[in-house]
Amino acid sequence: MAVWFTRSRFMSHHLKREVGLLGLNNPSFWSSFTHHNSSPLENCRTPETVFSIRRFESTKAEKQLDSRFDDDENLILDFPGGKVTFTPEMRFISESPEKRTHCYRVLDDNGQPSMCSSFEQISKEVAVKMYSNMVTLQIMDTIFYEAQRQGRISFYLTTIGEEAINIASAAALTTNDVILPQYREPGILLWRGFTLQEFANQCFGNKADYGKGRQMPIHYGSNKHNYFTVSSPIATQLPQAVGAAYSLKMDGKDACVVTYFGDGGTSEGDFHAALNFAAVMEAPVIFFCRNNGWAISTPTTEQFRSDGIVSRGQAYGIRSIRVDGNDALAVYNAIQAAREMAISEQRPILVEALTYRVGHHSTSDDSTKYRPVGEIEHWRVARDPVTRFKKWVERNDWWSDKDESELRSSVRKQLLHAIQVAEKVEKPPLADMFTDVYDRPPSNLSEQEGLLRESIKRHPQDYPSDVPV
Ligand SMILES: Cc1ncc(C[n+]2csc(CCOP(=O)(O)OP(=O)(O)O)c2C)c(N)n1
Ligand SMILES: [Mg+2]
């Protein structure tokens, strides 16, 4: 950014001189380049000038660093990236900090807020909705998982163990905040009002699925709820989230982007590109890393050598926090504060939530082949985020056994009904496989469609009978 800014200042002076020669050296001309008002020259802008006028000026962090130094030329190096002090001591920076970054927690394992914990109290209404959504997510996972085992859907992936991350972060945001998920965050959609029927329609890939049955189960998406469709290739959503956040910034929106990803996602180049891009462009985006210990069968010890993910933030110039991902109140408070900073200060924030993937990676995985059952059980029982939050809600006298059994039986009934309905809804027509990408289908795509139709005619027994051809 510093380099760009210095260079742009130079270019701006240069241009001013050139433009001055053309008789346009007049302050009102230049003010039109720094404000968004239209000017008489609006129609003359080249793509480059349009881009440059919408850039946002800021090198706040750098200015802060600079102010720490005095002007003794013998002690400081003033180079294009800022000022740095000299030292006679040859010292390499250690590869790891003396102490690992602490983890912010509000509730202990018994759902008791710690004495000196800093957190904002939430209302009964929000707390009960959070707890109910966490339970709904658990039941949804159980029933869809069973449906997959019965062969009724092709694939499924649970969020077991990560319910607090899903629901508490959703609760701390507004629906104007744009979500770019990985795949283990359906709870945000649930919180925003995506119905159990809509979840079922997607998993069954029927005509009512917004993706027209073209994606595997769990690839949810909703324009209405500002939730980008899940995309399988890991971490691709991260640079896209920065672009989306920069667009919110250009439009002066009172909203941010939140993008979720796993510990495994941080090994992708896209993670690093996104963090740097966001820091430099000062985009209002929250990077929410669910560090659940595993990327399918790869443990975090084989994924990175740093102190988790949180430590990467400072390297890129991004404010960061580590939070207990199984503590709904901590997640809620951290995300609320992160959102406030992202929007009011127009900056990215990195959040690392420590948690554990209690379920298998997906229905295509058996995690007992590569991790001890005792470890899974410890996290499933002793560290369950839903039970911990329930204890706190009960302590406040906001929840009873009766509420619990009514909720569980009602959600179960609604889900079974949603599955029955989704199963009966017609599948999308075959033609839908070839639409929505090109305005006019290219010849190779039309040829493929023709070949497929021919093959179905010749071998109908090899194709699903419930897809209208
Ligand atoms: C680019 C890319 N590489 C590999 C895969 C295969 N894959 C799917 S999920 C996954 C693990 C991701 O782990 P993590 O990001 O920690 O998320 P978690 O499943 O733990 O929530 C991998 C390697 C993929 N989908 N995309
Ligand atoms: Mg993981």
Q: Are residues 81 and 160 in the same domain?
A: no
Q: What is the pLDDT of residue 34?
A: 32
pLDDT bin (cut points 50, 70, 90) of residue 120 is confident
Catalytic residue positions, numbered: 146, 232, 361-362
Q: What is the pLDDT of residue 116?
A: 82
Q: For the beta carbon of residue 174, count every other beta carbon within 10 angstroms.
A: 12
Q: Are residues 261 and 385 in the same domain?
A: yes
Gap from CA of 234 to ligand 1 centroid (Å): 5
Residue 94 clears pLDDT 90, i.e. is over it: yes
Are the beta carbons of 367 and 376 closer than 8 angstroms? yes
What would the pLDDT profile of 294-308 be if each residue is shown by its tens digit? Answer: 999 999 999 999 999
Q: What is the pLDDT of residue 63?
A: 54
- The ligand minimizing its distance to the Cα of 162 is 1
Q: Are residues 414 and 451 in the same domain?
A: no
Q: Per-residue pLDDT averaged across 346-355, rounded?
A: 98
Which tokens in the block code for residue 454?
């021919």
Measured between alpha carbons, how far is 351 from 288 in angstroms, rounded to an integer? 5
Q: Ligand 1 pocket, 300 CB below 6 A?
A: no
Q: Ligand 1 pocket, 289 CB below 6 A?
A: no
pLDDT bin (cut points 50, 70, 90) of residue 20 is very low
Q: Which value, to the nearest 10 degrees, does the dihedral of the CA atoms of residues 4, 6, 11, 12 take?
A: 110
Structural domains of the chain, count: 3
Q: Are residues 250 and 378 in the same domain?
A: yes
Mean pLDDT of the chain: 88
Of residues 12 and 195, the one with the higher pLDDT is 195
Which of 228, 223, 248 has the alpha carbon at shortest distance from 238?
Answer: 228
Which of 32, 54, 85 is the endpoint of a domain?
A: 85
For ligand 1, atom 13: residue with the closest CA: 295
Gap from CA of 264 to ligand 1 centroid (Å): 6
Q: Are residues 395 and 448 in the same domain?
A: no
pLDDT bin (cut points 50, 70, 90) of residue 28 is very low
Q: Which helix (H) or strand (E) holds 444?
A: helix 443-458
Q: What is the pLDDT of residue 71?
A: 59
Q: Per-residue pLDDT averaged across 429-449, rounded?
A: 95
Q: Percentage of residues in the chain with pLDDT exceeding 90? A: 82
Residue 130 clears pLDDT 60, i.e. is over it: yes
Q: What is the pLDDT of residue 278?
A: 98
Does residue 151 form part of some domain? Answer: yes
Lowest mean pLDDT among 62-71, 245-254, 431-440: 62-71
Which tokens in the block code for residue 201?
């329609």
Q: Ligand 1 pocket, 151 CB below 6 A?
A: no
Which of 236, 457, 261 has the alpha carbon at shortest distance from 352?
Answer: 261
Q: Are residues 259 and 142 in the same domain?
A: yes
Domain extent at residue 44: 2-85
Gap from CA of 135 to ligand 2 centroid (Å): 22
Q: For the beta carbon of residue 29, count every other beta carbon within 10 angstroms.
A: 15
Residue 55 clears pLDDT 90, i.e. is over it: no
Measured between alpha carbons, how far is 428 from 430 in angstroms, rounded to an integer? 7
Does residue 92 form part of some domain? Answer: no
Q: Per-residue pLDDT averaged across 93-112, rounded?
A: 95
Q: Are residues 225 and 282 in the same domain?
A: yes
Q: Are residues 399 and 455 in the same domain?
A: no
Q: 3-class SS at 107?
A: strand
Q: Ligand 1 pocket, 295 CB below 6 A?
A: yes
Q: Which amino acid is at 318?
A: I
Lowest mean pLDDT among 73-82, 91-100, 410-419, 432-441: 73-82
Q: Are residues 166 and 61 in the same domain?
A: no
Measured between alpha carbons, how far is 378 from 22 in angstroms, rounded to an integer? 74
Does residue 168 form part of some domain? Answer: yes
Lowest mean pLDDT among 20-29, 188-197, 325-334, 386-395: 20-29
What would the pLDDT profile of 218-239 be if each residue is shown by its tens digit? Answer: 999 999 999 999 999 999 999 9
Measured between alpha carbons, how far is 41 from 58 in angstroms, rounded to an integer? 26
pLDDT bin (cut points 50, 70, 90) of residue 393 is very high
